[in-house]
Structure formats: structure tokens, C-alpha cells
Structure 1
Amino acid sequence: MGGVISRKIAAAEWGEGVVSELARHIARSQPGLRGFTRPNLYRMRQFY
């Protein structure tokens, strides 16, 4: 997940605000799925 986010932002296909929207989308579409908050998505990107 971190790799996908990094590549999309580096290629300027996504802006920085998309990570927040992605976190909200995951929370809405997969209510039982945990760990995909905005800060965690940035950590995944950092870990990558």
C-alpha cells in the first residue's frame, strides 16, 4: 500500500489531499477494516 501511494504522489497523479480521501473511502466501503487511517497511510508510505 505504501508503495502505491508513494508512486502515485511522486508521479503527480495524486495530490497530497488524496491520502485523506482514500482513508475516508476505505472507512466507508470497508467498515470492519481497521488500520487504514490517514496517519497510518502516511506511515505505510514512510515505511515503504
Structure 2
Amino acid sequence: MNDMAAQRALGQLAEAGVLEERTGLRRNRVWQHAGILRLLDAYAQRLRRG
């Protein structure tokens, strides 16, 4: 996948509400899916409790 195709795919996912861009920058952007992050946080908490 080239850069343009990746940017287009990320844009489509953002428009669909699947991903959100977190930095507000034009370069070196960070994308996230809040639901996945919540699941990972919950999993980490369960691991800490043992």
C-alpha cells in the first residue's frame, strides 16, 4: 500500500467514525479507535489484579 492509499483509507475510516485522529497535525498523525483502547485498558486492569 502506498502513502496516498493509506491516507485515503484512514480518511474513510475517520469519516465513518471508526477511527479518530488525535494530534490535529498534518504530519506524524496518530489515529485511534476508542473502543479498542477501552478494551485494552480493561484487560490490563484484570492482569494487574491477578
Per the normalisation by structure 1, the TM-score is: 0.33
Larger radius of gyration: 2
TM-score in terms of structure 2 length: 0.32
Greater per-residue strand proportion: 2
Higher relative contact order (CA 8 A, sep 6+): 1
Higher helix share: 1
